[in-house]
Amino acid sequence: MHNILKENYFNEYYSTGFVETNTTLPNELVDEIKQHYLAKAEGHNDFPKFFVNNEHQVYLEGQVLGFLFNTFPNIAKKMVKKLYDKTYKKAVYGEQACIEKVLNYLLANDFKRFFKTRYIVVSYDMYLRNDYERSAAGIHTDLPNFHHFYETENDLTIYIPLVDLDNENGGRIQVLPENKLKLPGNILLKLLSQYFSEDPNNLDKDGYIDPDKIPAEAVVAFAKSKPHQDLMNLYKSVIGLANKHYANEFLMPTETKGKVLLWNNKNFHAAERWKNKQIDREVYIIRMFPIYDVNIKLKRNLHGNLFNNFLLDTEKGEIHRYDHQIDLSQIPAEAKLKL
C-alpha cells in the first residue's frame, strides 16, 4: 500500500486500518443512494452467487462444505443463502448506480490528495442493509475469488454509512491494522499469470490472459495445483491467527451518516452488532484496486452486471466511465506498479 497512498496517509492506514477523509457526502446524495436501493426487494442477496464454482472460499470452509458443494450443490446453495440471510436484509452487488456521482463529489473535495499511484480501477459498488434481528459479520477477510479474478492485496474500499454508526446505534466497522497482521494477496496474481499464460488459447490479441477464454476445467485444475493449495493453506493459517490471537486488537471508528472512510477490505475486519430497533443499518461501498504490471485482462461482467468500467485518474482528478471493462494494455507501463 506504500506505493499507492502518500506517506502520511499510508502511515495512518498502516497503524489504524483506516484513512479518515474528513469528507461527508451531502444529505441529498446520501438520500438518493438510499432511495435507489429501497426499490430492491427485501431479501435480495448477491453473496451466495460467489459460492458457485469458487474453490477459494469453499476450500477455506473445510472439507465438509467442499464435499457438500461437489456432491449436493443444491443443498449447499440453500445453506449458504440461509447463512447470509441471517446477516443481511439486503446485499446488492454491481449496480454501478452511484459511483460516478460519489467520485465526482469526492474529487471536487480533493480526493486525489491521498494517492501516489496515478491510475486506479473503480471496480463495482455494494449496498448492505441489516436490521436489529440479524447477527453481525464476524472476523473475516474478503478473499480473492475466480468471479473477480483480478484482485490485489491492496484493494481499496470507499466506505460510506448511510446512517450514523456510533456507540448508540452500533454497526461500526472493525478492522485489524496492517501493522498487526497482513494476508498476502499479490502472490495469487503471480500464480494466475504463471499458470494460465502457458496456454496461448488463454491469451487475447495483446498477449493478456483473458479469464473468459479459460475453460472451467482449467480453473479447477489450477485450484487443485500444489502452488494454489499451498497458498490456501497459508490463508487458512493466517485466518486462524487473526481469530485466535488478534480478536481484541481490531480498531473501530465512529462514522456519521455520509462520512467517507478509506480502508482495505483484504485486511481482517468485522462489524459491530446493530443496536437500533427503529431503523436499519445501511452502508454503501465502492471497491477499487491499483494496476500492476501483470498481463491479466479484467473481466467485463460480474454475475451479469458490467463492472471494472471506471478509471480514476488521480493526477488529473478525473473519473472516467466506460461501456466496457478498463483495457489495462492501454495503461502506460510507467504508470503500473511492480508486482
Print the domain residue range for 112. Answer: 7-323
| Percentage above 70 pLDDT, the chain | 90
Q: Per residue in 140-199, pLDDT tens?
A: 888 777 888 898 999 999 999 999 999 999 999 999 999 999 988 799 999 999 999 999
DSSP single-letter state for residue 276: -
Q: Per residue in 228-269, pLDDT tens?
A: 989 888 988 998 899 999 999 999 999 999 999 999 999 999
Q: Does pLDDT of 138 surpass 90?
A: no
User: What is the tally of structural domains in the chain?
Assistant: 1
Residue 338 counted as domain residue: no
Q: Which residue has the higher pLDDT, 90 or 77?
A: 90
Tell me the three state secondary structure of residue 47: helix
Residue 336 counted as domain residue: no
Residue 2 counted as domain residue: no
Residue 230 counted as domain residue: yes
Residue 59 belongs to domain with CATH number: 2.60.120.620
Q: Beta partners for 288?
A: 122, 156
**pLDDT recorded at residue 46:** 74
Which among 282, 284, 305 is positioned nearest to 95, based on CA atoms? 305
Average the pLDDT over 15-22 and give the result: 96
| Percentage above 90 pLDDT, the chain | 70
Average pLDDT, the chain: 90
Q: Which helix (H) or strand (E) holds 188?
A: helix 186-196
Q: Which residue has the higher pLDDT, 135 or 100?
A: 100
Which of the four pLDDT bands, split at 50, 70 and 90, describes residue 332?
very high
Residue 333 counted as domain residue: no
DSSP single-letter state for residue 267: S
Q: Per residue in 31-79, pLDDT tens?
A: 999 999 999 988 887 777 776 655 555 555 555 666 666 666 676 667 6
Average the pLDDT over 287-291 and give the result: 97
CB 300 within 8 A of CB 213: no
Residue 1 counted as domain residue: no
Which amino acid is located at 87 in the chain? T
Q: Concatenated DSSP letters for 56-81?
A: HHHHHT-HHHHHHHHH-HHHHHHHHH
What does pTM read for this prediction?
0.92
**pLDDT recorded at residue 63:** 57
Give helix 216-224 / helix 226-245 axis angle, nearest 10°.
Answer: 60
Residue 189 counted as domain residue: yes
Residue 108 counted as domain residue: yes
CB 260 within 8 A of CB 288: no
**pLDDT recorded at residue 143:** 79
Q: Does pLDDT of 296 surpass 90?
A: yes
| Helices and strands (DSSP H and E) totals, the chain | 9, 12
**pLDDT recorded at residue 73:** 64
